[in-house]
Amino acid sequence: MGAMTDAGHHAHRLELERTRTLALLALLSRDFDGIVAASADSNADDEHDPEGATIAFERSQAGTMITQARDRLAEIEAALERVHGGTYGTCEVCGARIPDGRLEARPTARTCVLHAPGVADPRGRT
C-alpha cells in the first residue's frame, strides 16, 4: 500500500479477466464448432439458400469474436508478465508511470495516455 502502483491489485484483476476470457473463448469455440457442423449439414454451397448465407455470416462473426478474445487473452498475459517482471504500469514508449485511473479503465494498457494507440478517440475503445 505505498505510493507505487499497486501491482498486486491489478494482477488480481488481470487474473480474473484472464479466467473470464478463457471461459468466453471456450464458449465461442464450442459455438463455432456448432456453426461449422451446421454449415456442413446444410447446403451452404447454394448461395440461393438463405440459411446458408446466415450460417456463413454467423461463422464469420464467431470467427471474429474468437480472434478478438484471443487477442485480448494475449494482451492480458503480456500484462501479467509485466507484473511479474516489475515493469507493469510503465509506459513502453517514454517510461512514465501510467496513472492508476488509466490502469483501472484498461488494465492491459502498455502506454501512458499520450502514447496510447488511437489517442485521437478520447472515449477509448470498449
Which residues of the shown chain bind Zn ion in the complex (CB under 5 A)?
A: 91, 93-94, 96, 112, 115
Q: How far is CA 108 from CA 50, 55, 67, 83, 112, in A?
A: 41, 34, 17, 10, 11
Nearer to Zn ion, 74 or 93 (CB): 93
Q: How far apart are CA 108 and CA 77, in angstroms?
A: 9
Please name every residue paired with 90 in a beta bridge, in sequence order, or none if there are none: 97
- Min separation Cβ 116 and Zn ion, Å: 8
- Min separation Cβ 75 and Zn ion, Å: 17
Nearer to Zn ion, 39 or 107 (CB): 107
- Min separation Cβ 3 and Zn ion, Å: 19
